[in-house]
Structure 1
């Protein structure tokens, strides 16, 4: 079953649309890739029943977008531009989870930049924030390329100990004013 959701955002190579039930198998497969989830839960596999009950409602909710390659329709993963304070878009969290097969091709940066731009130009966002483990250098680089600035390193209690977690997590953020000063809009 293919999705027919209208696009939320399109870039030269990406189409982002709301996640839906048709994405269930792809979402489960993505979450069961130990490399993809290495910095999230140490790559622990998720049971489909657990995924359906716990993760799927969040991914079907406001602010999560299935990512497809525009020219082929290939499903690449998902992006998050989720409001942190309902009902508005004043502060949003940026995130992404893509198949390893497409890492290193610039999709994460392209999608993140486009979402930041949409947040500040169309959604009335005042602040975009993103977080990852300190040791997740690839994700940190995407945040930086999207224009987000390092805010802090912090320690958070997680249910699982993951290699590198002793170095903590990092927060990156960008305000509308900072974005305006660094871009031509």
Structure 2
């Protein structure tokens, strides 16, 4: 069986999730560093991943990320649609294994998805959110062309270190993206 990739960049391939990704997702969800800004790194049971997390990832707008050269599973990216049908407004997201950190993978994948959203999917607005103190994700969003919109405070079930500083919202409209004359991200292979 040939894998059909949703998107390929110079170093990454994004493909649909399958049930076979369960063990990879369990590992990702149980890395306290990966989930530090989500739920303070609290462990997630395999059953919870199987019943809740994986079905969400199998849905529209989520893709497993692999390194092109080795096929190593790196985590996931998303352009989660905010409404049905279509892709008019999407939320950009990603969760990568620590082995992918500091290598530009998050920026490369995010930039390629923003480009695809505005050129192929008919997207009008890309949004994203993260904790104010998550400076690494904030840098990725800014390098991907999104602009800071606001800081906001919500009630969460658990207090996470840094949550007293709130969360930040980022956004990029199609018109802003077009005006920026952003060059196409490096692509390789066929994009479908």
> TM (normalized to structure 2)?
0.93
- Offset at 1:184? 4.5
Give CA-to-partner distance per residue, 1:80-124, whole Å, 9 cap, x none.
Answer: 111111111000010000011220000000000000000000000
Please name the residue that 1:59 is paired with.
Answer: 57
Q: Give every structure 1 segment of 4 or more consecutive aligned residues whose post-TM-superposition deviation is greater than 3 Å.
A: none
What is the alpha-carbon distance in structure 2 between the residues aligned to residue 19 and residue 81 of structure 1? Answer: 14
1:126 maps onto 2:124 in alignment: yes
1:181 maps onto 2:191 in alignment: no
* SS of structure 2 residue aligned to 1:30: helix
What is the alpha-carbon distance in structure 1 between the residues aligned to residue 3 and residue 18 of structure 2? Answer: 8
Please name the residue that 1:28 is paired with.
Answer: 26
What is the alpha-carbon distance in structure 2 between the residues aligned to residue 173 and residue 131 of structure 1? Answer: 9
Query: Relative contact order (alpha carbons < 8 A, sep ≥ 6): 1 or 2 greater?
Result: 2
> TM (normalized to structure 1)?
0.96
What is the alpha-carbon distance in structure 2 between the residues aligned to residue 47 and residue 34 of structure 1? Answer: 13
What is the alpha-carbon distance in structure 2 between the residues aligned to residue 116 and residue 151 of structure 1? Answer: 17
Query: Following superposition of structure 1 onto structure 2, how do residues 129-140 of structure 1 map, counting pairs within 5 Å?
Result: 129-140=127-138
Please name the residue that 2:12 is paired with.
Answer: 14
Which ranges of structure 2 fall in alignment gaps of 5 or more residues?
184-192
* SS of structure 2 residue aligned to 1:7: coil
Which ranges of structure 1 fall in alignment gaps of 5 or more residues?
none
Query: Following superposition of structure 1 onto structure 2, how do residues 31-180 of structure 1 map, counting pairs within 5 Å?
Result: 31-180=29-178
Contact 2:22 2:49 in 1 (8 A): no
- Offset at 1:4? 5.3
Q: May I ask how many residue pairs the two structures share in their alignment?
A: 183
What is the alpha-carbon distance in structure 2 between the residues aligned to residue 43 and residue 152 of structure 1? Answer: 25
What is the alpha-carbon distance in structure 1 between the residues aligned to residue 83 and residue 25 of structure 2? Answer: 25
Change in Cα spacing, 1:71 to 1:59, as seen in structure 2 (3 Å) is same
What is the alpha-carbon distance in structure 2 between the residues aligned to residue 184 and residue 142 of structure 1? Answer: 15
- Offset at 1:5? 3.8
